[in-house]
Structure 1
């Protein structure tokens, strides 16, 4: 059986990586991509590319429906975080499209897309968590500490508050942010891929990372850590995980502490795929009840580096 797949928000780095992976996926018969911008190389990667309105536009739904009908799409994979948030907040959207949408389970998305809800989840389940509160409610701060957007992604809306002057400055401009404990050991930050299928079988990949500008992983090294492995397995069970998510944590003197759960495919989806951690393919196979490809874990110490590729038309 082969499938016709639509990837929305396909022009960004994750969408491009997903397109390259699916072009090599034998079960993908036709690969269609759409994005709100055509100033990207998606047309070089996808069999068909179409520019569409932003998901907040009233025309979005009709445009996606038209693509589904035109190409007889079997599965939609939304890539951009605004889209995934929109699907999470508008639960009837998938029914209106009358086409399956591949995402992590609703509980994982609702928790992961709200950083305060993430911490409350960890606390409720007895898992390690960083001290966190709504920034406007902070009265006697202990410096330094972090403030970051409660609902945003990446590291652009993230600041370290070191003194009272900065505290007062940010309090005037950062409404809706959260204040969070600044975890020790900034050189011990890890990104972990976590996948769980319908049968409860869990796979994960742990690597120490170095961030580029914009919060993307520019370099990483695969590691093995029993404490992190145990924590990942616990999170998968307690969040009722179905699908693929991304866990960010630091290894501290108190053990691993999660500070973010990203309920989507990671910007390192291609690196992981090359190293054998093929969570995109597993997710599709699991949805269509195909045999899930075997995971051959990469060797400890395997390194990856972020590069660039140019297209000329």
Structure 2
């Protein structure tokens, strides 16, 4: 299929994996990237890359559409959470096809406390969780041994800490200035799973379970979780995990479409609980798993959006069980010339976007 695909966050780990996946399945496609970090842009593997404003910038959508029209883009594939949210919020303004959930669904999923309450009300097993607004809330949480503290927004285990008592918990909340936007939850000490899913009009296209075995630079994080999986194993027989993931997503909207990823942690009795749903994207490590195993998950997103015929594969756990993915960093380091770097930065400040040299 000859087409032009625009991906966001092009120099980030997930988008590097995404680029490799799309090149595997669409060798004739032109893949164009946008990146808001000038340093990260040097790592992009797209055919060409633009430096653009961050998703929070008032001109983000305007610049994105300028590039879409200039490059005659056929499909926009957003990757980072902030860009998925910004694009969903302005979906009627986007000048090409894309496939992401509604802004309402994204807002629910990207707030972990709001999602926890939503899933609990729908009967999905979730960890007991309290929003910490006051010291009384924290005392109540520690009374019930809810010692897992984390920010309600963000990725990469942002703000996560496993307290041992009330004194440690209140110190951490104070240190993080977390009153009102941190939660305390049951700690899930056993297996850690992720499930990537794709839906089309409420119907499952596929779901794939993986078990996280180790995180990259885990010893550099106070809780050993960095959000970047270093070693994972595909799982083909735990269909209860597929069940819980699929139900959790379809209970957001029974006509749901797009990519999702669900995080599942198990308690001391190995009972699974849903801890997160990432809307509009597959997990970062999964992009590299898909690229290495040649399973065309990101390409399927584009095929679904264009009502194209899909290749044949098992709907549940299409990648052979027991496949191990081992990661450290996802491409060779790049060097940049400081003088040229500063020149590009100044040009970006003048024009608000820059097409970078390859």
Q: How does 1:178-189 map to 2 (within 5 A)?
A: 178-185=183-190, 188-189=191-192
Instruction: Find the partner of 2:277 among 237, 256, 261.
Output: 261
1:203-238 deviation digits (Å, cap 9, x = unpaired)? 111111022233211001112213212212322432
**Equivalenced residues, count:** 308
Instruction: Find the partner of 1:94 among 88, 91, 103.
Output: 91
Equivalent pair of 1:8/1:77 in contact (CA under 8 Å): yes
1:285 aligns with 2:303: yes
TM-score by length of 1: 0.89
Q: CA deviation at 1:7?
A: 0.9
CA–CA distance in structure 1, aligned partners of residues 202 and 149 of structure 2: 39
Q: How does 1:12-31 map to 2 (within 5 A)?
A: 12-26=12-26, 29-31=29-31
Q: Which segment drifts farther, 103-112 or 30-39?
A: 103-112
Name 1:295's counterpart in structure 2: 313
1:219 aligns with 2:224: no
Q: CA deviation at 1:105?
A: 4.6
Taking a change above 3 Å as real, the CA distance of residues 101 and 226 of structure 1, as seen in their structure-2 partners, is closer
Q: How does 1:86-235 map to 2 (within 5 A)?
A: 86-88=86-88, 91=89, 93-106=90-103, 108-137=105-134, 138=137, 139-140=139-140, 141-142=142-143, 143=145, 145-172=147-174, 173-175=177-179, 176-185=181-190, 188-198=191-201, 200-209=203-212, 210-213=214-217, 214-223=226-235, 224-235=237-248
Taking a change above 3 Å as real, the CA distance of residues 20 and 174 of structure 1, as seen in their structure-2 partners, is same
Q: Which segment drifts farther, 124-133 or 276-285?
A: 276-285
CA–CA distance in structure 2, aligned partners of residues 274 and 47 of structure 1: 20
Equivalent pair of 2:111/2:153 in contact (CA under 8 Å): yes
Name 1:36's counterpart in structure 2: 36
Equivalent pair of 2:21/2:296 in contact (CA under 8 Å): no
Q: CA deviation at 1:148?
A: 0.8
Q: SS of the residue aligned with 1:40?
A: helix
Q: CA deviation at 1:283?
A: 0.8
CA–CA distance in structure 1, aligned partners of residues 127 and 202 of structure 2: 31
Q: CA RMSD in A?
A: 2.3
Taking a change above 3 Å as real, the CA distance of residues 129 and 161 of structure 1, as seen in their structure-2 partners, is same
Equivalent pair of 2:9/2:80 in contact (CA under 8 Å): yes
5+ unaligned residues in a row in structure 1: which ranges? none
Q: CA deviation at 1:19?
A: 1.4
CA–CA distance in structure 2, aligned partners of residues 59 and 44 of structure 1: 22
Instruction: Find the partner of 1:270 among 283, 288, 300.
Output: 288
CA–CA distance in structure 2, aligned partners of residues 104 and 28 of structure 1: 28
5+ unaligned residues in a row in structure 2: which ranges? 218-225, 336-358
